[in-house]
Structure 1
Amino acid sequence: MQVTETLNEGLKRGYTITVTAAELDAKVQEKLIEAQPEIEMKGFRKGKVPMAMLRKQFGPRLLGDAMQDAIDAAMKSHFDASGDRPALQPEVKMVAGEEWKEGQDVVVEMSYEALPPIPEVDASAVVLERLVVKAEEAAVEEALKNLADTAKAFEDRKKGSKAKDGDQIVIDFKGSVDGELFEGGSAEDYPLVLGSGSFIPGFEEQLVGAKEGDEVSVNVSFPDSYGAAHLAGKAAVFACTVKSVKAPKAAEIDDELAKKFGAEDLAALKGQISERLEAEYKGAARAVLKRSLLDQLDALVKFDLPAALVEAEAAQIAHQLWHEEHPDVHDHNHGNVETTDEHKALAERRVRLGLLLAEVGRKADVQVTDAEMTQAVLAQARQYPGQERAFFEFVQKNAQMQQQLRAPIFEDKVVDFIVAGAKVTDKEVSKEDLQKAIEALDEL
């Protein structure tokens, strides 16, 4: 077996791999010997079939496997000896192609871009500021008020009162299109909060000012994008009977409210809210710190990038941004999306940082544990209520999905590893300052 270099230019590599006919024949023989003890043929006991008959019967079938094994072995030997790590799957092409005949040497051309040597990261050269926000009393009180609002009750207004936005009206209604009642368009004793936006656009507004006992014809049109295709874009009339008008009454902020939300008393609920708020602030502050770290790493460490990786990433960025600009298009039958210099610049940053973090993690032996993967799968599975088991099975069988879940966990652990060696100072700021810092991330 012979490997000859044909290209060594920057990160591009090219090699010719030659597997002689004798080596290939020996590989076929090896496979036949391995299989012989388990083979039965008419007239022969199991394991006693002559090798010549085995070769005639199974040789052609094993030839392809032997060829692939030999090429794979040559590639592995090459990568072990050279230390090269291909950026993408190497391109392997048989020189003779379909003209190759049994008994000839096998010659293949292999080409790839090697991952570049990546400089060491001096974490001590990274200077970071961690924003710290305490849960202020005003923020806790605002959260309490919002909780009380969600727990509010409704009390009957004085008879003859007109319904206002925010009031709850109890109605019977029957909906019709072209004079015909349609399925799912009727209900009795339905509690509707005016201004909630829970009904078709234009429906609730026409009930503002209605009184108990009123009969109101509500004229609306279903949106063109309505889920039921037979109603989409159609004009409809809802015959409504107002049975009662109720005014909202906010719940008292007291121990009883706390118990409704699973806390022992009001003090305990305030403590829970404070912890939740500070956890949210901490998550936001981490995003700011991570961006600062990545910006510094991008400036500190430079190395050549595999062009194929950059091109693939730029194409993906362009495609993603195109779909963000065209949210109504859900398929990919929209032709090629041209990449711009801006896409390429962003792709170069992502590829550089991705390779850098991967190398730091590899050298530091950063691992994603089974428990961390399970938590990640559980978090994703919650998005598919009732289908959690099917999602788990899908992930178990899908290596690409596993990698998608593992990658952000690995990246965060590498970020934590670098931050642990960096110079980090805490800075206490207000919630508003943290919000401005978060907004600034979107502008970059």
Structure 2
Amino acid sequence: MISTDPQDPDDLLSQRAGQRLRDTAAQPTRTYVLHPALKSANARRLPEHGLAEAVALAAALPELDIRGAEVVRLSRTSPATLIGSGKVEDLKTRFKADEIELVLVDGTVSPVQQRNLEKEWGVKLLDRTSLILEIFADRARTREGVLQVELAALSYQRTRLVRAWTHLERQRGGFGFVGGPGETQLEADRRAIDDQVIRLKRQLDKVVKTRELHRASRRKVPFPLVALVGYTNAGKSTLFNRMTGAEVLAKDMLFATLDPTMRGITLPAPDGGAGRKIIASDTVGFISDLPTQLVAAFRATLEEVLEADLILHVRDISHPETAEQAQDVAEILTSLGVKPAVPVLEVWNKLDLVDPAARAALALGATGRDRVFPVSALTGEGVPTLLDAISLVFDEAKTDQTLILPFAEGRKRAWLHQEGVVMAEVEAEDGYHLTLRWTARQEKRFRDL
């Protein structure tokens, strides 16, 4: 059970031992969600949308009973308690009246702030990273997934160790009164975590080698790899099931998919028969402020995206912040090192949730953009057109060409990068020297710019 006593040594021990904080009692844990919002911050998103996402994250854990949620607007953050003393006291009264056991703060909370708030409120507190780690730990099914989550959790917990155990400092080191103080409990905890991290990394290295062997085997087979990426709950698994006939778990829930799944697909041919065969890969969803520990731990899984011959960027086009979500995905793909030459098709999913007037506007917006495909993975609308486009990407022959582009042709250079056809680029006195790999269709469009 999640302890409500911030000084409970058993709770501290469980954190240091890398055990997940999980409520095993029959009754769900009464939970309250807070979304801190700095008034001076130039955030891309509305605080209300951030709060809604935080509540959806909390709802992904069935053992949490969400009793309330609110945006806490801050003029500045308090180093000791994150939020002001008046708000801390107000929330304390509310939490006591509602018998709240767990508070989720949708943001970064320092170890000192966490300790002070837990002591003041008499509850357990988790920040955004802790919550996402909890969800990942709850969902991981394969051995690789479990190892990755455990590694991410230990890496995170190591940064949360605070000097709360000074009374457990060990006996003086050395002999007599000459030696200095011995190893503190804090140092012992760090050493234990470091040892466990090394052990997990060794086990994951074996997984990486096995996965690389699988990739090497796939390279020998002339089947292109198509990776589905996108924000969490964008409908990737539903689209994956629709395309492949698989039965991957697909729920209206954040992070329903953690473990990657691959299936073969035979694309339709223009004459209605069987066409090219490809391999589709369903991947873990991205999210804003994705913990760096998770990105590092799941890199072996996400490397499937780096190996892809084509990326389908699945967007929930019905979401009010779909553009912001798309930007988050693009930033994560860039941080992973996705090659600019890999073509990307945008899949505007969940058309079934868009009202008719907005749907007409979406169709108009997609017109003339040969890399945008409005679909409904749930009903199948638009999916045949998408499959035809995927087939066309691999059917078109590509040629290598060197091009010198004057510095004044910035718009054309931007278009080439957007199309992902630039293999190399060097700046010289007479302009940009570009090495391109493109199709005849792309070359024609470029000449028409």
Q: TM-score range by the shorter chain?
A: under 0.3
Bigger helix fraction = 1
Question: Scaled by the length of structure 1, what TM-score is found?
Answer: 0.17
Larger Rg, first or second structure (1 or 2): 1
Q: Greater RCO between the two (CA within 8 Å, min separation 6)?
A: 1
| TM-score of the superposed pair, with normalisation by structure 2 | 0.17
